[in-house]
Amino acid sequence: MSALTSGFTHYTASSGIPELREAVANQARQDNGIPCMPENVIILPCKFGLYIAIQALINPGDEVILPDPGWVSYEPMINLAQGKPVSVRTYNKDEFRILPENIEKAITDKTKMIILNSPSNPTGSVSTHEDIKGIAKLAIEHDVIILTDEIYEKIIYEGRHYSIAAEDGMFERTVTVNGFSKAYAMTGWRIGWALAPKPIFDEMSKIQQHSISHCTSFVQKAAVSALTEKTESIDKMVSEFKARRDLVIKGLNEIVGISCFLPKGAFYAFFKFDFDMPSQEFTDILLEKGGLSMTPGSAFGPGGEGFVRMSYAASRENLKSGLEMLDDVVKTL
Ligand code: PLP
């Protein structure tokens, strides 16, 4: 607010205001062990960071490995750069973690990039340190760039988050994208950041300069406050999400024909249903008969068929009544 009233409403440097780049770099070093300096930071909306990293690095025909099921925008972004999306399946039995051995099978001499997303949307899976170390080893051996989407980093209930850019020899081949949307509940403010080694930073900066120019000036000031004025609000929010997760997973597993593993991060339950129909048909029925809005697993790739994504970013009261409605609808099938 004070940035607005003091007239901080004009252009800024394209990569962002210095104090925000510095605050982001400090946090990346302290919380994630990423050897990052302010000059490696571009301030941009998280989604745009993913988009320009792909635009800057992918040439027509380059192969990009991505998780299946995975977040809906990766594949279109790869297609827009005329790259070739190569899906790597993840499985319920592995809590949908993307495993190094499965990535290795998909690597060819055309592989340019691997996209990671832990904690994951849609599954809530969280990569272990072993997973991250295994993927880093592959990236170095095969000279591949990692694009890691860490937007749900702070929303973890068990274990911890490992940034692949912190592994030995990885900073120079990794673009880390993150933002304020989830941890700071600032979805509409359209601000986040990308961390990239200098040669990649320079290419991404060109796209930023000649497209959006920069993030909104006074929103950048608000983002500095979010990072530097330490509050307990993230911890409080995460413990509330944990209570909701426990309520939802218990409730889902009590419904006959539905089962769900315990996701360790994000705010999604990715549950399996045992009814003989596609996930799109199942979610249509949930909407029509129960007024329940859930996303069919197939929206996230063929590996999501047979599953449904339920968001628990809602009050416990609403989640309880939603679970009751789900049970009622399922009983009619
Ligand atoms: N990556 C994932 C996995 C997401 O779920 C989202 C938003 O839902 C984004 C990126 C985009 O984040 P933002 O809205 O901060 O650009």
69 C-beta closer than 6 A to ligand 1: no
| Contact assessment for residue 166 and residue 34, using Cβ atoms and an 8 Å cutoff | yes
- Tell me: pLDDT of 90 over 90: yes
179 C-beta closer than 6 A to ligand 1: yes
**If pLDDT is split at 50, 70 and 90, which confidence band does 116 have?**
very high
Instruction: Output the six-digit token pair for 115.
Output: 């996209």
Strand partners, 68: 89
Q: What is the mean pLDDT of the chain?
A: 97
120 C-beta closer than 6 A to ligand 1: no
What is the residue type of 43? I
CA of 178 to the centre of ligand 1 (A): 8
> Which residues are within 8 A (CB) of 51 and not within 5 positions of it... i.e. 6 or more apart?
77, 80
CATH number of 2-228: 3.40.640.10
Place of tokens 């063929």: 302
Strand partners, 2: none
3-state class (DSSP) for residue 93: helix
Q: What is the pLDDT of residue 232?
A: 85
CATH number of 233-331: 3.90.1150.10
The residue extents of the domains of the chain are 2-228, 233-331
Q: What is the pLDDT of residue 107?
A: 98
Q: What is the pLDDT of residue 319?
A: 98
pTM here is: 0.97
Distances (CA, A) of 45 to 6, 162, 180, 219: 24, 22, 9, 11
181 C-beta closer than 6 A to ligand 1: yes
Pair type for strands 111-116 and 145-149: parallel
